[in-house]
Every structure is written in C-alpha cells, then in structure tokens.
Amino acid sequence: MLNLSLKQLSTLLESKKISSVELTREFLKRVEILNQEYNAFITVNEEMSLDQAYVADTMIASGEACPLTGIPIAHKDIFCTKGWLTTCGSKMLSNFISPYDAHVIERFNMTGTVNIGKTNMDEFAMGSSNETSFYGSVKNPWDITTVPGGSSGGSACAVAARMAPAATGTDTGGSIRQPAALCGVSGIKPTYGLVSRYGMIAFASSLDQGGAIAKSAADLALMLNVMVGFDARDSTSLQRDKEDYTRDLEKPLEGLRIGLPKEYFAEGMSDDVSRGVDAAITEYNKLGAKMVEVSLPNTKLSIPVYYVLAPAEASSNLSRFDGVRYGHRALKYADLDDMYEKSRAQGFGAEVKRRILIGTYVLSHGYYDAYYIKAQKLRRLIAQDFAEVFKQCEIVMGPTSSTVAFALGERSNDPLQMYLSDTYTAAASLAGLPGMSIPAGFGNRSRPVGLHIIGNYFSEAHMLNVAHQYQQVTDWHTRMPEITKV
C-alpha cells in the first residue's frame, strides 16, 4: 500500500477495494507514528481530513470521480487553506487561520482529494535545509542526523517516509528540486505562471512557483493535471489550452538530444554525486539519447543574482506583516512605531530578518542601480544562455545538488555555504524555466542523489516522459528508507 503509485491507489478506490476513509486513516495513523521523529507536518486535523474522505467516497460511488479523487495529499504550509492553520513556518503567522483557499487548494478540493495535513517548511520559504522553521527542523528519513533540504523539506520528507502519497510544494530558487534530491523522491517546478500564485504566501513574486513532489514522474504528471490552470486573480497566471501531462510518458527516447553544460560538471560537485549522475547519463545513452556538450557561461552568476533579486522582493512582500491586520502582535508597546518594530522583531526569525535587510539595502537610494538593476540585466543574460542551448538540445541535464544531504547544523552558521545549495537550481528559476529532480542512486552513507532535468518553456510533458523512461529501467524511485518500514 505504502509504495503504490497514485494511479494504483486510484484503481483501488475506483474498484471499491478500499475506501477513501480507510486510506486516509492509514496515512493519518502513519503520520501520527512517524511525525514525532521527522517533524514533517505542522498541522494535522483528522476530523477535517476524514470529512473530505467521506465526500470523496460519495463522489466515487456516484461515478463523479477524477483520477486523484479520494487520495490523501499533503500541502506545504505556504498555501492558504480555509479553516486550517496556515503559518509559513513562522511565528509571525502562528495564529493565522486562513479564511479562504489558495487556487491550488481549490483545484485539489474540486478533484476530491483529501488534505492529509500542512507540511513544515523553512520560514517564509527562506532556506535550503528546513532548519529556519519556527516549528523546528525537519529530519531526513534516510538519515535523521541530516537535513531534508528546503524550503519544501516537510513535503519531501512526508513523501519519502510514505506519510503521504504525494505533496504540494513551492520553488523559488530550488525549493522543490533540492529537497526532492536529498530525500530520494521526484519533484517538479513548472514553467513560471502555469500554477497560480493566488493564496500562495509570497516570498519573491517573480520567482515563486507552485509544484509537486511525489514518488515518480508518472505521479507528478497526475499532480500537474490538477494544479495547472489559469486564474484571473493572479496577474502572472498564463492562459493556455488544457494539457494532459501523462500523454507522452510512454514515448521512446531514441534520438533525444540531452545537453550537458560543462559548467555543471566542473569543480564543486562531490565525487559521490558525480558517480550517480554519470551512471544516469549512461542509462540515457542506452535508451537511445544522444549527449551534447553545451555551455551556460552565466551560470556562475545565478547565485549572486538570485540573492539580490529574491531578498529585494521579499523585503517588499513581507512589509505587510506588521502586527496590525493579522499575525503576531507584540504584547507590550509604547506607540504604533514601537508596535511595528517589536512585532516584526519577535515574529520573524534570523534568516528572514537577514534577507529583509539585504533586500531593503539593494533597493535603497544609491544602491538600486548598482545592485538591483544590474542583477535584472544579468538575469536576462542567464535566460538568453538557455535560449541558445535549447537550439542544440531538447533537455538539459546535470546534478540537482552538489552534495548529498548534509548534517543538521552543518551550515546553519554559514549563510554563504547554505546559499550555495542552490547552485544548480537557481538559474532555471531566474529564467522561468521548468525543472525537475528525480532519484538517481545513492552517494556516501547511502544518502540519495538527485538528477536535475531542465526543459524549455512549457515542455513539462516532455520532461516527464524523459524522467519516466529512466524510471522504467531503474528502481531508485521505489526505494524506501529502512526506518519508515513500520
């Protein structure tokens, strides 16, 4: 049951071999047992989950079911969910009960899925290790002394530990792909604008994108079929014809041109990750793909560009959290200015404060042109690099993370090393391109290795095909941490 695909679970539900209520109870029980150790969930509400399961069973009985009807899905605690605590992993929102649903949540509710709980995350999605959460660190189920990655670490952990069949996440600079890699699961960030940001609490608006984490590429395709859709309430939402992201899964890869950027295979990648990626490339050769050496010369600029632009947007977006309308408010203050200062000082954690300060600095008079405008120009050059590369190949491939999961606390006091966790993922986010990570073996101490796949705009179905074909000849995506087999 734990390792069944979303399609297999759907078949069981449709054939009445199991009910949504029974399935939901199974996963709720597992969450209760494992979450004490992994800390993957911030909020679980058994009553509300079971209510949704009863509705799903009614939909199935009346023949109104969709492919995901009745299946429990975990949601990152950045998506506003009506009647649920929605915290963004922050003390600032530790008492916020959302009065409405995000567009993503609305779409899952319409499909009849069950919300199994809200997953832990780096505070306001700022982090690469899930250690900045007000609710404590999430543990990697493959090795509880290591991080699960971030900021969607709770979602990745929940799927890896089989506490949920699949989960939503968000990706700003790698926050779906990096934790998917470190936890040995599959994760996808679609083209910017395909998934509505309405009700997704903002970090960096020009970069944030909702996506999915699941065991396999086939499961991700079913998730995208629900999540992707136009929303007039989001000015960046793209209006496109509806796609079936499962349509190309079985296509052979004969003749596929895969670009291997020389910058991705230079210094910086650990030997164990290199071995895993090389082995995956060998499998793709066997599947008929052709490797092409390409160059992304401005990749080296992606981290400094990202850490100018993202904090700048965060500084603006987080100004709304002032203790006046909702969220944390200091108990004692002298006047309005004092209330602002104390509420924000108490409500935000150290990493969020650091990024607000950086962002405010680069937007300030005298530095705006030197930093922010220059970073925007470099962002365009990074996007142009990819445009040139996609004239030579259909897919770009490399490592998702330069290392396997690192120890809890190892980089907590070294922000620069933490920021470098996004080395291979930030460029695709800056360009607005779709990217995904799939399991590609294990490195040192049996910690998972992730393979990064980047496609051109709106090529998600093709990317999922590339990933699925690899997963048909390997079993990395089916492996489960020993500790989760309870």
The residue behind tokens 């078949």 is 11
DSSP string for 91-147: GGGTT-B-SS--HHHHHHHHHT-EEEEEEP-SGGG--SSS-S-TT-PPPBTTBTTB-
Distances from the Cα of 106 to the Cαs of 74, 120, 170, 250, 464, in angstroms? 14, 20, 16, 30, 24
Cβ of 51: how many Cβ atoms within 10 Å? Answer: 15
Residue of 200, 128, 138 whose CA lies nearest to 170? 200
**Are 389 and 335 spatial neighbours (Cβ–Cβ below 8 Å)?**
no
Contacts of 44 (CB under 8 A, 6+ apart): 28, 31, 32, 35, 116, 117, 118
State yes or no: is 15 an active-site residue: no
CA distance 8 to 14: 10
The catalytically annotated residue of 20, 76, 139, 186 is 76
The catalytically annotated residue of 98, 128, 137, 175 is 175
Cβ of 378: how many Cβ atoms within 10 Å? Answer: 18
Per-residue HEC secondary structure of 310-377 comes to HHHHHHHHHHHCCCCCCCCCCCCCCCHHHHHHHHHHHHCCHHHHHHHHHHHHHHCCCCHHHHHHHHHH
Residue of 235, 142, 227 whose CA lies nearest to 182? 142
The catalytically annotated residue of 49, 90, 133, 151 is 151
Distances from the Cα of 24 to the Cαs of 165, 265, 386, in angstroms? 11, 43, 43
State yes or no: is 421 an active-site residue: no
Burial class (CB in 10 A: 0-12, 13-18, 19+), 162: buried
**Are 75 and 105 spatial neighbours (Cβ–Cβ below 8 Å)?**
yes
Q: Which two tokens stand for residue 89?
A: 């992993």
Residue 293: its H or E element:
strand 290-294
Burial class (CB in 10 A: 0-12, 13-18, 19+), 85: middle
Helix axes 20-38, 46-61, angle to 10 degrees: 150
Q: What angle do CA 102, 106, 111 make, to 5 degrees?
A: 150
- At position 206, the amino acid (one-letter code) is S
CA distance 52 to 148: 29
Q: Which two tokens stand for residue 269?
A: 């990648």
State yes or no: is 175 an active-site residue: yes
Residues with a known catalytic role:
76, 151, 175
